[in-house]
Chains A and B, each alone.
Chain A
Amino acid sequence: MPTVETTYREAMRAAMREAMRADDRVFLMGEDVGSYGGCFAVSLGLLEEFGPERIRDTPLSESAFVGAGIGAAIGGMRPIVEIMTVNFSLLALDQILNNAASLLHMSGGQFNVPLVIRMTTGAGRQLAAQHSHSLEGWYAHIPGLRVLAPTTLEDARGMLATALADPDPVLIFEHGSLYNLKGELAEDAGAVDIDRAAVRRAGDDVTVVAYGGCVAKALTAAEQLAAEGVSAEVIDLRTLRPLDDATILASVRRTHAAVVVDEGWRSGSLSAEISARITEQAFYELDAPVERVCTAEVPLPYPRHLEEAALPQPETIAAAARRTREAG
């Protein structure tokens, strides 16, 4: 299979380009997606190809343009709405929750909302308290939404097409640290499933569940553990809602220990949900309490050393994995 070298950013862009070439109903709107090329340069060059009707710069009105995306979806379009960063999505929370996620049910099945919302998430770039959130767990709480976290080049390239084909709203969370991720991607890479978690590294002794920006950290931790003779299996959730319980549980049933990594805050987090599901469905498989590695419960501070201390790191993930094998 011939491959090309690409980046996560380029893979996302290629996915949008392909989608817009394939379907006239698809268009992109958001703040600075046009002339600027996107805050993270994901849509750079698309304006030139598709023009201002389909690459729409919006005013700084998250609620209005997300709501407009919902209306346009109901009106027969297949909008991709880009919200610059997850913190800004809070200004559109009413539209996402009360309209996008609820309309199908409130209308008794009459109005579905085939909308894709992309946004950047996560910390690690010293952007301080208001630009470093990982709130995808909040959205994963909401019935009616599908929530994705592409981590690999394949998923960056392939999730969008599947999301656009979904008749219901899909939120794609792109971790800010991943845009420059570089690697080889099959030339014919295309749509991928958005239902299943993926085992990124097989192992026998402990299951490490992670997603988004933490998958790479979990893989690094697995390397460290391997050097100590501990074989860690790393699962990339990929889809945060609906959760792929089967893949997680199958792994835990083999390893009998689990570490859940979450860049969100611990209390009421996605990691709490996953931990609960493991104990609900695999309690008698557990040979150690489920461990969680989450972001410290603090608005993220600016200085690098404090930010690093606040976030899950390979060392803290490895330490949690060791705890499952040592004192309980």
Chain B
Amino acid sequence: MSDFTMPSLGADMDEGTLLEWLVKPGDSVHKGDLLAVVDTSKAAVEVESFADGVVQDLVVEPGTRVPVGAVLATMAPLGAEKVPAAAAPAPAPAAAVVAAPHPPHHAAQAPHAPHPPHAPHVSSPLVRREAEKLGVDLTTVSGTGRGGAITRADVDRAAAHPEPRAARVTPYARRLARELGVDLDQVPAPSTRPVRAADVRAAAAQAEQPTTPATPEPTTPEAKAAKPPASSQAARREEMRRTIATVMARSKREIPHYYLTATIDLDRALAWMRERNRDLPVTERLVPAALLLKATALAAAANPALNGFWVDDGFRPGAGIHVGVAISLRGGGLVAPALHDADTRSVEELMAGMRDLVTRARAGRLRRAELSDPTLTVTNLGEQGVESVHGVIYPPQVALVGFGRVADRPWAVDGLLGVRPLTVATLAADHRATDGFTGGRFLAAVDERLQHPEDL
């Protein structure tokens, strides 16, 4: 079994810089798998394995420049025992079994956390750069590489078959669409030429004709707003503002809100979270919001009367617990896309999901379904330092849960004064759908879940 060495990626290349490892010790690799990204000083290149084997030891740290032929990683034959990769902190006897020419220092280090099974859109810097170059949105690409990683070929494929919404629009047509309030996504894109002013006008004329929606589609203020970034963000924000205004006014006009608040002690939840974070890579670490979200989802599952829609003078329960996460956008406006089936997903998954939503929301790349699906919305303004949030319900939803900041405060614990991290949870609920009793039970359930974080 030969080791993995710095390849010569061109007649004039005599050294290269290892940029990034795409594998870790213990990984089984096959001929053709990508192992690392190397800078040849002309470009970043993904380097493949020329043999099957098990990665033994990563000899070269990222950022190191080495001559062609230098050993980058030692490899063991496939089938040899793996070096420890799981949570067990015990020294791995298997490491001794493998004849390692280099000291296996990785084996002695803290064990690697298992890779989250649903880590979204794994991609290398090379792939990301390529995607940027080709204008491919990686969130829309499904990876065919190892562990669902997006490869260069995936990006090239995506670039070759762009989604139809990537239609070109002339500057004037774009401006006209804004002025006429025409959603460019709804304008049929001609295949041989850009969308022109005439197309926008036609679409506007069509929209003017009175139409009655067959079913009251759940409306969110974001439905219109979450388009790909357009030429004028200012105008877009203005439009979003108008939509929010309409929807919120309607909510306050039509929905008889009632409000309940509860102060929740997060001492246990945060202690558990800190412990959990110790095992997680920095990029995957949890924040309190993820725990609050999960607790809310579980409480909603236990109190289905708050999870759903008020439509046609009646309550319709949601088909699942799809928690809308309110995300403020840079420069104004907000969206609240859904984290689907939040009650059944792990806190880590919810964390990853939240990160993904925030990134995409701010990049204007949310999917339509994400905006129309929420059955209940959570808004967390704790980062802004507010004590509590008495929110306005997004119709036709029937409840909105708000969290204020988590702050250390005096709190009576077992008859003694203690300092505890507290947050104020607020429920804004539609009195047509529920009464205060239901609401109170719901908040109590949220509290209860947070006192047993290990079950979250």
Q: Which residues of A contact B (CB under 8 A)?
A: 256, 283-288, 326-328
Chain B nearest Cβ from A124, distance in angstroms: 34
Residues on A with beta carbons closer than 8 Å to the beta carbon of B175: 284-285
Q: CB distance B193 to A327 under 8 Å?
A: yes
Residues of B within 8 A of A288 (CB): 170, 196
Q: Is the CB of A256 within 8 A of B197?
A: yes
Count of chain B residues near A, Cβ 8 A = 13
Min CB distance, B7 to chain A, in Å? 44
For B200, give the chain A residue with the smallest CB separation: A287
Q: Does B173 contact A (CB under 8 A)?
A: yes
- Please report the C-alpha to C-alpha distance between residue A327 and residue B190 in the assembled complex, in whole angstroms: 10
Are B196's CB and A284's CB within 8 A? no
Cα distance A235–B76 in the bound complex, in angstroms: 77
Asked if residues B171 and A285 are in contact (CB atoms below 8 Å), the reply is: yes
Contact A287 B168 (CB under 8 A): no
* Supplied contacts A284-B175, A287-B172, A328-B196, 14 more A-B pairs, CB within 8 Å: A256-B197, A283-B171, A284-B171, A285-B171, A285-B172, A285-B175, A286-B172, A287-B197, A326-B193, A327-B192, A327-B193, A328-B168, A328-B170, A328-B194
Task: State whether B171 touches A286 (Cβ < 8 A).
Answer: yes
A327: chain B residues within 8 A (beta carbon): 192-193
Any A CB within 8 A of the CB of B231: yes
Instruction: Indicate if B174 sits at the interface (CB-CB under 8 A).
Output: yes
Give the A-B pair count, Cβ closer than 8 A: 30
Least Cβ distance of B445 to chain A in Å? 53
Q: What is the distance, in angstroms, from A59's C-beta to the closest C-beta of chain B?
A: 55
Residue of B nearest to A285 (CB): B172
Contacts of A287 in B (CB 8 A): 170-173, 196-197
- Give, as a whole number of angstroms, the nearest-CB distance from A325 to chain B: 8
| B192 A284 Cβ-Cβ under 8 A | no
Give the most central of A284, A285, A286, A287: most B CB within 10 Å: A287
Report Cα–Cα, A326/B168, bound state, in Å.
14
**A31-B192 Cα distance, complex, nearest whole Å:** 56
Chain B nearest CB from A139 CB (Å) reads 32
**Complex: A288 Cα to B192 Cα, angstroms:** 13
Q: Shortest 4 CB-CB distances between A and B: which pairs?
A: A287-B172, A327-B193, A287-B197, A328-B194
User: Which residue, of B175, B192, B231, has the highest number of chain A Cβ atoms within 10 A?
Assistant: B175
Interface residues of B in 66-91 (CB under 8 A from A): none
B193: chain A residues within 8 A (beta carbon): 326-328
B47 to chain A, nearest CB (A): 42
Sampled A-B contacts (5; CB under 8 Å): A283-B171, A284-B171, A287-B196, A328-B193, A328-B194
How far is B171's CA from A273's CA once the two chains are assembled, in angstroms? 20
- Cα distance A256–B196 when bound, in Å? 10
- Mark B184-225 against chain A: 1 for CB-CB distance below 8 A, else 0: 000000001110110000000000000000000000000000
| CA gap between A288 and B168 in the complex, in Å | 11
Check B197–A284 contact: CB distance below 8 A.
no
Contact B172 A284 (CB under 8 A): yes
CA of A284 to CA of B173, assembled, Å: 8
The interface residues of chain B lying within 8 Å CB-to-CB of A256 are 172, 197
Report the Cα distance A287→B231, complex, angstroms: 14
Give CA–CA (A285, B196) in the complex, Å: 11
CA distance A285 to B171 in the complex (A): 7
Most chain A beta-carbon contacts within 10 A, residue among B168, B170, B193, B196: B170
Complex interface residues of chain B between 9 and 37 (CB less than 8 A to chain A): none
Q: How far is the CA of A326 from the CA of B170 in the complex (A)?
A: 12
Beta-carbon nearest neighbor of A326 in chain B: B193
Nearest chain A CB to B40's CB is how many angstroms away? Answer: 36
**A-chain residues with CB within 8 Å of residue B196 when the two chains form the complex:** 287-288, 328
Within 8 A of A (CB), among B157-173: 168, 170-173
